[in-house]
Amino acid sequence: MIDRPADHEPAQPSAQAGQAKALAARPSRLPIAILGAGLSGMSAAFHLGRAGVPWRIFERDAEPGGYVVTLQERGYRFDRTGHLLHVTDAETRRLALGWMGPEHREIERRAAIWSHGVYTRYPFQANLYGLPPKVAFDCLMGFINARAQAQTRRPDAALPRTFEQYCIETFGQPISEHFMLPYNRRLWGVSPSEITADWCSRFIPVPTLEDVVAGAVGLCDRELGYNARFLYPKEGIGKLSSGLAQAIGPVELGRPAERVRVDARELVVSSRAAASESVPYELLISTMPLPSLVAIIEDAPEAVKQAAQRLRATHLWYLDVALRRQAGQPYHWIYVPEERYPFYRVGCYSHFSPEMAPPGMACLYVELVSRHKPVLGEVLPGVVDALVSMGVLECPEDVLFARLRLLDPAYVIFDEHALPALELIHAWLRTKRVLSIGRYGGWGYSSMADALRFGQDAAAEARALLGG
């Protein structure tokens, strides 16, 4: 079940009314067809609606939102792992607050790393204080040496090609070996030597030497990174999606795309209740995973199909866990780099908002390392034992119930084939008046605020292509 807020931004009903009027008089060829009612797709619809451009949006699932949804069970609320809104743009913030409604919180991040049997502040590279002295010393000296080597590097020296090289050259060998490489190997599901460094400049904090020295002696006085503050609705992140869905008007649910003929500009969508429908369009905006979109384009050239087959992503199995009492640690989420643990991150929904669990209780998400489908009864005891050892649980009996969940895809893999394939595919799609956007439609690493911006940018580009 997904909550739907009653309140949203006052300016939005006009867009909804305009869209309803436009749909009532559908032209023979729809100006804009949108595939997927996640944040990017609905954001595109919202901005098109405000501009008076008719559209229809088709969503394969029974509810809008994609991964930005909130499930309810026995008084507990579960998102699809940690989905938090980190937003700096004033207009995006204003709109998002309107869609969330008045019941939201602005939160300062409390994140930690669990390694060597102790908790240290996030990010690891700027908060070495509390680690065993030898580990902290090695990491500090490694960072200093890496900085010294960087200052002597020739301006025309080659940039790091892989993420592994980037980490070692930026942070030094010890920080890389104690956190950066093992953690990211567990998160991505592939070796850091297979991943390029193209994605990481925005998402991985690079501290100054002063930051690292201060953090090594316990004097770090600021939070680093793009996610130091975030917005969160009191009853779960699904409030953002449901508020946006109300603002845009009709979302056609349970209607997956079957095939696309881009030369004819024709989309075929199915329905559980009726026969498949052919939808002629002027322009298509897709938020489907990019390889899935290419797979249903009947007239895609062989080079584009082959490029799409080179794109890789990993999936994620995780647990939603309901507790009988509050969690034993105060953190919003905890990074776990060490191989002996069956998960690489654990977060606490009820630390985002107490309303996510019944009074005095808590709920967690636990992101598993293994990409093989686990058997809940087999994986849960090891997870619980690890959480007890970390002080998140007091005892195994704290667990009331657990649910196994899947995100597929989860993380796009930035290997050496990705960028050339993406350039070829996106360039060809644009020649066919197809905009593929969003985290999976664009095939990148991005935030929820990015998703909203992707939709806004796609709406503007679509209007330009339509000549309006």
- Which CATH number goes with the domain that contains 337? 3.90.660.10
- Residue 72 domain-assigned (yes or no): yes
Query: Residue 260: CA atoms inside 13 Å, Cβ hemisphere, count?
Result: 26
Residues 40 and 187 grouped into a single domain: no
- The whole-number pLDDT of residue 406 equals 98
- Residue 7 domain-assigned (yes or no): no
Among 210, 226, 242, the domain boundary falls at 226
Q: How far apart are CA 359 and CA 371, in angstroms?
A: 34
Residues 139 and 188 grouped into a single domain: yes
- The whole-number pLDDT of residue 135 equals 98
Among 163, 194, 226, the domain boundary falls at 226
Is 80 exceeded by the pLDDT of residue 101? yes
pLDDT tens-digit readout, 402-435: 999 999 999 999 999 999 999 999 999 999 999 9
Cα angle 13-16-18, degrees, rounded to a multiple of 5: 110
Question: Structure tokens of 72?
Answer: 């309810």
Q: What is the count of structural domains for the chain?
A: 3
Residues 426 and 280 grouped into a single domain: yes
Lowest mean pLDDT among 173-177, 226-230, 255-259, 380-384: 226-230
Compute φ and ψ for 340, nearest 5 degrees. Answer: -75, -10
**Full domain range(s) for residue 263:** 12-107+232-311+417-466
pLDDT tens-digit readout, 18-41: 444 444 444 589 999 999 999 999
CATH number at residue 278: 3.50.50.60
Residues 216 and 120 grouped into a single domain: yes
- The whole-number pLDDT of residue 10 equals 33
Residues 195 and 329 grouped into a single domain: no
Is 80 exceeded by the pLDDT of residue 377? yes
- The whole-number pLDDT of residue 25 equals 43
Provide the 8-state DSSP code for 116: T
Residues 118 and 83 grouped into a single domain: no
Is 70 exceeded by the pLDDT of residue 5? no
What percentage of the chain carries pLDDT values higher than 90? 85
The structure's pTM equals 0.91
- Residue 157 domain-assigned (yes or no): yes
- The whole-number pLDDT of residue 2 equals 39
Q: Which residues of 396-409 are buried (b: 16+ CB within 10 A; e: fewer)?
A: eebbbebeebeeeb
Among 172, 197, 226, the domain boundary falls at 226
- Residue 25 domain-assigned (yes or no): yes
Residues 99 and 142 grouped into a single domain: no
Lowest mean pLDDT among 137-141, 268-272, 353-357, 358-362: 268-272
Residues 292 and 251 grouped into a single domain: yes
Is 50 exceeded by the pLDDT of residue 376? yes
Residues 423 and 404 grouped into a single domain: no
Residues 353 and 439 grouped into a single domain: no
Residues 299 and 422 grouped into a single domain: yes
Q: How far apart are CA 285 and CA 57, in angstroms?
A: 9
- Residue 1 domain-assigned (yes or no): no
Find, among 302, 308, 266, 296, the residue nearest to 284 by Cα: 266
Is 90 exceeded by the pLDDT of residue 159? no
Residues 397 and 433 grouped into a single domain: no
- The whole-number pLDDT of residue 199 equals 76
- Residue 442 domain-assigned (yes or no): yes
By CB atoms closer than 10 A (0-12, 13-18, 19+), residue 359 is exposed
- Residue 4 domain-assigned (yes or no): no
